[in-house]
């Protein structure tokens, strides 16, 4: 039986949630692997992502979504505070045809003691299906994503919304600051084979992709980011750059980034495994803890296509990373 969640404009049908975004996209989302939506999402996701080391297997999504409930969720909340991981399918409103999808984890974090609590989100995957591309779907989805995430989290964790968000929401439903973090392929660290294969199968060059995200408001985080292994059968991924969308300043609070990566690594990537047992994660969190204690902020870099293309063409003194090229 369907029911409307008071104050959120989200309709629930069991564990499935439905809302209509400001741009008119129909969003179906879930925190469970048992209601059928994950299979719809995964059938499109599996076509969209082609590099094996960047992909989460179906069982990995099942494992992540299990952490949203029961004893596993209670144990993680004690360690990290409240969170929710969502899988969502984007549909065309008139026909219900699938246009794309996304997977993200979202949680409240503090940037300065308890005085400034924001919602922090890791956009693990987002894609538009090939037949729906070149129609503005991606831009519409991304412009709506902060309010989509706020509404979904507010339905699942109404008591855990940042206080300023709750007060505003009672009046005009304006969400608090939402930081959206993404991983991007670093063209300077990818192998030639992976670069060419990904570009060929997705139809979007790596540099053009950075430019697309930059035009949407993404900035590269000037921090040596490495994704820990997604499973015991995979290796850490050192070919990625980390970025944040719509950050309000030219530098990022190191305490916020540490709190964010601690939760993203501990829940989405490592599925609840103790962070201290994973050296790739532990080294990064330790460095950020030091910067946080010393009040050192992290610069954010503009993803300028001209600078990247020039650096890639410089075979004599080619930078080692995207961050080096953009500095």
Alpha-carbon distance 255 to 90, whole Å?
33
Residues 6+ apart with CB under 8 A from 174: 165, 168
Instruction: Flag whether the pTM goes above 0.85.
Output: yes
The Cα–Cα gap between 58 and 79 comes to 26
- Which pLDDT tens digit goes with each residue over 32-49? 999 999 999 999 999 988
Q: How confident is the model at residue 114 (pLDDT cuts 50, 70, 90)?
A: low
**Token code pair at residue 60:** 């990995």
Q: How confident is the model at residue 160 (pLDDT cuts 50, 70, 90)?
A: confident
CA distances from 33 to 40, 75, 145, 161 (A): 11, 20, 22, 24
Scanning the structure block, which residue is given the tokens 């059938």?
43
Buried b (16+ CB within 10 A) or exposed e, 203-220: eebbbebbbbbbeeebbb
- At residue 204, the pLDDT reads 79
Residue 187 scores a pLDDT above 60 = yes
Percent of the chain predicted with pLDDT > 70: 91
Provide the H-helix boundaries in the chain. 37-48, 58-66, 70-80, 137-156, 163-171, 192-202, 206-215, 254-263, 279-293, 305-313, 322-326
Whether the per-residue pLDDT at 51 is higher than 80: the answer is: no
Question: Domain residues of the chain, as ranges?
Answer: 1-108+125-169, 177-327
pLDDT in tens, 125-134: 999 999 999 9
Confidence band for 152, pLDDT divided at 50, 70 and 90:
very high
End-to-end CA distance of the chain: 55
User: What CATH number is given for 1-108+125-169 in this structure?
Assistant: 3.40.630
- Segment 239-275, tens digit of pLDDT: 999 999 999 899 999 999 999 999 999 999 998 888 9
Quote the tokens at residue 283: 């080294």
Predicted confidence at residue 165, as pLDDT, reads: 45
Specify the pLDDT at position 168: 44
Checking if the pLDDT of 73 tops 90, the result is yes
Burial class (CB in 10 A: 0-12, 13-18, 19+), 314: exposed
Interatomic CA distance for residues 155 and 153, integer angstroms: 5
Q: Distances in Å between the alpha carbon of 285 and those of 34, 239, 293?
A: 33, 19, 12
pLDDT exceeds 90 at position 183: yes
Mean pLDDT of the chain: 88
Opening angle at CA 303, ends 227 and 52, nearest 5: 30
State whether residue 201 is helix, strand or coil.
Answer: helix
């Amino acid at each position: 039986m369907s029911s409307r969640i008071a104050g959120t404009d989200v309709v629930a049908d069991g564990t499935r949630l439905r809302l209509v975004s400001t741009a008119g996209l129909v969003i179906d989302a879930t925190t469970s692997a048992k209601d059928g939506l994950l299979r719809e999402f995964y059938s499109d996701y599996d076509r969209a992502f082609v590099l094996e080391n960047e992909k989460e297997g179906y069982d990995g999504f099942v494992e992540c979504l299990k952490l949203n409930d029961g004893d596993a969720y209670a144990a993680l909340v004690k360690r990290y505070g409240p969170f929710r991981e969502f899988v969502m399918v984007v549909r065309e409103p008139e026909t219900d045809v699938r246009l794309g999808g996304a997977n993200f984890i979202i949680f409240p974090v503090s940037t300065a003691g308890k005085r400034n609590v924001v919602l922090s989100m890791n956009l693990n995957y987002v894609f538009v299906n090939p037949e729906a591309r070149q129609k503005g779907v991606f831009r519409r989805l991304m412009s709506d994503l902060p309010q989509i995430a706020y509404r979904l989290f507010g339905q699942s964790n109404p008591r855990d919304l940042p206080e300023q968000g709750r007060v505003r929401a009672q009046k005009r439903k304006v969400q608090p600051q939402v930081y959206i973090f993404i991983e991007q392929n670093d063209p300077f660290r990818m192998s030639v084979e992976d670069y060419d294969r990904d570009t060929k199968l997705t139809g979007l060059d790596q540099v053009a992709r950075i430019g697309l995200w930059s035009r949407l408001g993404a900035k590269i985080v000037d921090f040596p980011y490495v994704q820990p292994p997604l499973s015991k059968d995979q290796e850490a991924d050192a070919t990625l750059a980390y970025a944040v969308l719509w950050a309000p300043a030219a530098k990022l609070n190191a305490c916020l980034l540490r709190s964010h990566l601690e939760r993203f690594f501990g829940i989405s990537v490592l599925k609840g495994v103790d962070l201290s047992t994973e050296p790739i994660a532990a080294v990064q969190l330790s460095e950020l803890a030091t910067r946080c204690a010393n009040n050192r902020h992290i610069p954010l870099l503009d993803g300028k296509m001209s600078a990247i293309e020039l650096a890639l063409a410089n075979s004599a003194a080619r930078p080692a990373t995207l961050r080096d090229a953009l500095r």
